Amino acid sequence: MKYEKIARYLSAVLLLLFTLVLSSCDNSDDETQPEPQIENLEDGTRLTEISIANLSGLIGLFGIPELSDLADQLNYDIVGYEVTYTTTYLGEEITASGLVTFPETTDPVPMLSFQNGTIASNDEAPTNNQSEFFTFSAIASTGYIFVIPDYIGFGASSEYISPYHHAEYTGRAVIDLMKAAKELAVQEGYNFNGKAFLAGYSEGGYAAMASHKLMEEEQPEGFELIASAPASGGYDVKGFQEYLFGLETYDNPYFLAFVALSYKTTYGYDDPLSDLFQEPYATIIPDLFDGSNSGSRINGQLTTVIADLIQPDILANIEDPRYSDFVNALNDNSLVNWQPQAPMFMYHGTADVTVPYQNSVDTYDKLIANGANPESIQLIDLVGEDHNSGVAPYALAMLSVFNELK
């Protein structure tokens, strides 16, 4: 895809740029600053600086007319940090990580947390793939503190199995990084105005919606959720399972394997993976998710034929009480049983079959049925876009909406 080729080229240019400027980043501070109250932040390492001029030139390399508008919105140089912070997983306090980028200004600015799509290898984590993920951080130049979490299971927390599509752990890791970014802002002399935005694509869309839900439930001090823009996520996890079980083939079987392994780990189920998957897949799945394999490599070790991947009995009788642990986990983590208060803009490509467009339609309908205000919760079609091609139009539309609200 043209977009991916351009992104890879831009990432390579950025990597060179980061290498050149890294030596110029000075972590020292000649003036004595008051110590902020620290609860979540463990460490913030300054990595890179990029000027408006360089950002504008890099955006021009895309050769996409719509991105010229983004170049016109750049207002600040940006400074990027790698952050470690505390969050909670399986009842314990652990160290997680992510990237935080500040616009170089003391003016009050909002925070935008962007959650990336599904990854399976630790090398793909934002803090381990900085050249790619700092590409997105150009958004900080438009006037946001820009935050990207690694997710639990990657980066500083790579010893854990990622709680993939576990709503609470996913949302908490996002919000705790936002809290750490708020603390880092005080420590480094930046001015967060308290306004928060949430965005993300694919798994990131699920993470953005889970974070929206948790933020409204817990009302973290110092944050006002202005809006979220989740995109192309499998929010109705039970509905996604039903969709997959109704297919003959599916090109990304590792999604289902990831969910099953996540729930077995986070809930501590005794049920073996062989209740769900046929052999040899049931045996090899845990080792495939050791952090060394990409999703495409894991797909290559599985089968795309659903009837060969899934045990016949659960495929035909998933509602049988024998499978209640798995079904309950699917239902518990489906983001359909709540009523959003802050505005939410849901985007999804109408030609998407990887994460089906209908999943967003069903989720939207259920949220409205729960009492959500149809004037503030919108489902916005990315007409004709599939799962890959929807990324670019979503990102531009999301930023335009947020800029109007910030």
The whole-angstrom separation of Cα 154 and Cα 121 is: 8
**What is the model's pLDDT at position 18?**
38
Partners of residue 46 on adjacent β-strands: 81
The one-digit pLDDT tens for each residue of the chain (406 residues) are 433 433 443 343 333 333 333 333 444 344 444 455 889 999 999 998 988 888 877 766 655 555 566 677 889 999 999 999 999 999 999 999 999 999 999 999 999 999 999 999 999 999 998 877 766 778 899 999 999 999 999 999 999 999 999 999 999 999 999 999 999 999 999 999 999 999 999 999 999 999 999 999 999 999 999 999 999 999 999 999 999 999 999 999 999 999 999 999 999 998 899 999 999 999 999 999 999 999 999 999 999 999 999 999 999 999 999 999 999 999 999 999 999 999 999 999 999 999 999 999 999 999 999 999 999 999 999 999 999 999 989 988 999 999 999 9
Report residue 132: phi and psi, to 5°. -80, -45
Strand 192-201 to 145-149 pairing: unpaired
What residue has token string 């790619």?
Answer: 132
pLDDT at 236: 98
35: helix, strand or coil = coil
**Which pLDDT value is given to residue 5?**
38
Looking at the structure, tell me whether residues 340 and 279 fall in a common domain. no
**66 domain residue, yes or no:** yes
**Can you spell out the DSSP letters for 254-285?**
HHHHHHHHHHHHHHT--S-GGGTB-TTHHHHH
Please tell me the total count of domains within the chain: 2
Last residue of a domain, one of 332, 359, 386: 332
31 in a structural domain: no
Nearest to 207 by CA among 98, 109, 300: 98
Last residue of a domain, one of 310, 332, 354: 332
Same domain, 60 and 94: yes
Under a CB-based contact definition with an 8 Å cutoff, are residues 111 and 139 in contact?
A: no
Of 302, 332, 362, at which residue does a domain stop? 332
268 in a structural domain: yes
Query: Is residue 152 helix, strand or coil?
Result: coil
Same-domain status, 201 and 350: yes
pLDDT of residue 255: 97
Select from 162, 39, 180 the least CA-distant residue to 90: 162
d(CA 314, CA 312): 6
User: Does residue 247 sit within a domain?
Assistant: yes
Count the neighbouring beta carbons within 10 Å of the beta carbon of residue 217.
10
* 75/193 same-domain check: yes
Phi-psi region of 30 (alpha: psi -120 to 50; beta: other; left: phi over 0): alpha
Range of the domain at 327: 237-332
Give the CATH number of the domain where residue 87 resides.
Answer: 3.40.50.1820
Same-domain check for residues 219 and 267: no
CATH code, 248: 1.10.260.160
